[in-house]
Every structure is written in structure tokens, then in C-alpha cells.
Amino acid sequence: MPGIIRLNSFLSRCGICSRRQADKYISEGRVKVNNIVVTVLGTKIETDNDIIEFDGKKINIPRENSYFILNKPAGVVTTLYDPQERKTIRSYTEEIGIRLFPMGRLDYDSEGLIILTDDGELSHRIQHPRYGIEKVYVLETDNVLNQKELSKIRKGIMLDDGLMKVLSIRINSKSARGASYRITIAEGRKRVLRRLFDKIG
């Protein structure tokens, strides 16, 4: 990535963090350009000439990014560190020797595919709502939803942090034990589907 780019974008492309998190690190004075602490957001750098440091360590431009798909089991936290000392996805990546972070998250009790990468720019594009990247979930319930409940979900349900609307919801299968639904959304609020279905009851 030769040329002049914003400092937060540089940190993101080098796999340090997302651009939003980079702005936070810059504001905290954790980033240096040519041995000078930079705290001004929007600062631009010359990747060919400037020396960038984060937490006292020089950042080298990676030649290529890494991408892994993890089939996350239930009982694992989708973070690199958990203050409650529960198992995290880091336990699956330590031997790789690359600092990887998850694109999005799955709840502790959820399981499914999640992408791990050091590509902060791609991670930002996939996770930010304005890009409208669709995410597909399969959700199992103890009861079969009736048409009235399905209609409510399709129209949108007000949660504590705003209106939640799915792009689509359809039944996969049903049995005496409940049903399975395929749900497509374009946002990533915390535990949003669990909270939506809790609202339905």
C-alpha cells in the first residue's frame, strides 16, 4: 500500500485493529510517526518514508494478509481476551503465530463459521452497517412461530437499542421439539437475534 494514506487506515491495513479502534489508539497517544506522538485524527502519512510505531514497536507493512475460517463451537467467547477467563478464540490461533482478530462475533452459546484475519480494512467493510453486508444465521426454537409472530419479525421489532428488522426469515424445518429458521440480517448488534426472539416470547 505505497503512497499517502490516513494513519488510521494504515494501522487497519497492517492488521493492528479496525479503523475505529485505531482512532481511539491515536487519541490515547499510543501511536508515533517518526518518533513523535500523534493524537490528531485524520493525520496522513507517507508509507514509503514515515516510520510508524504502536505501543513502542515499529509497524512493518505486511506483504499479504491472512484469512482463516473457524467453526466456533458453543462455549467459546469471540474475543482475544475474556476478563471472566472463559475460553476464547485465541486458543485456536496461538500456534499460527499471527495476530488474528474476528470479523464480527457469535454469542458465547452460539456456534457457526466466523472469519479470522489480520486484514483490518476488510474487517471494517464487512462489519460496518453502511456497507450492508448480509449475515445468515440458523436459529433453533423450542416452539414453531405462527404467522402473526413471523409478520411482526418481518415488519421490525423495537429493542432497547433501536428498531431491528431482518432482511428475510424462513423456516428450515420443524418437528415436535420445535423449529429451525434461516435468518438474514445486515447488522451486528450484540445478541440481537436472541433479544429479538426474547421479545417475541
Secondary structure class of 108 (helix, strand, coil)? coil
Cα–Cα distance, 165 to 148 (Å, whole number): 15
Q: Is the pLDDT of residue 1 over 60?
A: no
- Tell me what percent of the residues of the chain surpass a pLDDT of 70: 98
Q: Given this chain, do its domains 4-58 and 134-200 carry the same CATH topology?
A: no
Q: Which residues pair with 136 in a beta bridge?
A: 184
Distance CA 134, CA 126 (A): 9
Q: How far apart are the C-alpha atoms of 190 and 162, rounded to whole Å?
A: 12
Q: Residue 197, SS3?
A: helix
45 closest CA partner among 34, 57, 30: 34
| CATH of the domain spanning 134-200 | 3.30.70.1560
The confidence score (pLDDT) of residue 62 equals 65
Q: What is the CATH number of domain 4-58?
A: 3.10.290.10
Q: Do 162 and 123 contact (CB within 8 A), yes or no?
A: no
**Which residues form the catalytic set?**
107
* Radius of gyration, alpha carbons of the chain: 20
Q: Is the pLDDT of residue 150 over 80?
A: yes
State residue 122's pLDDT score: 86
The yes-or-no verdict on residue 99 having pLDDT over 90 is: no
The angle subtended at Cα 142 by Cα 141 and Cα 145, nearest 5°, is 65
Report the sign of the C-alpha dihedral through residues 159, 163, 167, 171, in that order. Answer: positive
pTM above 0.75, yes or no: no
Please tell me the predicted confidence (pLDDT) of residue 17.
87
For the chain, what are the domain ranges?
Answer: 4-58, 67-117, 134-200
For residues 60 and 164, give the distance between their C-alpha atoms in angstroms, rounded to a whole number.
Answer: 41
49-92: per-residue pLDDT in tens? 899 999 999 997 766 788 999 999 999 999 888 999 999 999 99
pLDDT at 2 (0 to 100): 59
Closest CA to 76 of 62, 63, 90, 87: 87
| Residue 10 in this model has a pLDDT that exceeds 70 | yes
For domain 67-117, give its CATH number from 3.40.50.300, 3.30.70.580, 3.40.718.10, 1.10.3720.10.
Answer: 3.30.70.580
